[in-house]
Structure 1
């Protein structure tokens, strides 16, 4: 699914779950955190913590 690709997830990370409707897949992906953004935020916080 395009949303998985845009979030940097492996193909089928959400869409390969048996019994999960398309609406539920999109909801899960929409409520998810983009791992690259989370990693960037943690890196920024750690840099700021080490400066003080």
Structure 2
């Protein structure tokens, strides 16, 4: 079995090329840790849209 490639994880999360992997002086392990602790931008967008929708509904009901 091969090793997990940080460039692949970066792509899988939908981040721009080099967002983490082009950071100077960061080891492969540190890159994977940073990527693993990150939030997929699409998840963050979905959460914000849901929160804004709920806030708009509450405002309209008031």
Fold in common (TM above 0.5): yes
Provide the aligned C-alpha RMSD in A.
0.7
Structure 2: gaps spanning 5 or more residues: 1-6
Give the greater-gyration-radius structure (CA): 2
* Residue matched to 1:8: 14
CA deviations 1:1-52 (Å, max 9, x no partner) are 1101111111111111111000000000001111110011010011011112
- Structure 1: 4+ residue segments shifted above 2 A: none
Residue 50 (str. 1) matches residue 24 (str. 2): no
Structure 1: gaps spanning 5 or more residues: none
TM (normalized to structure 1)?
0.92
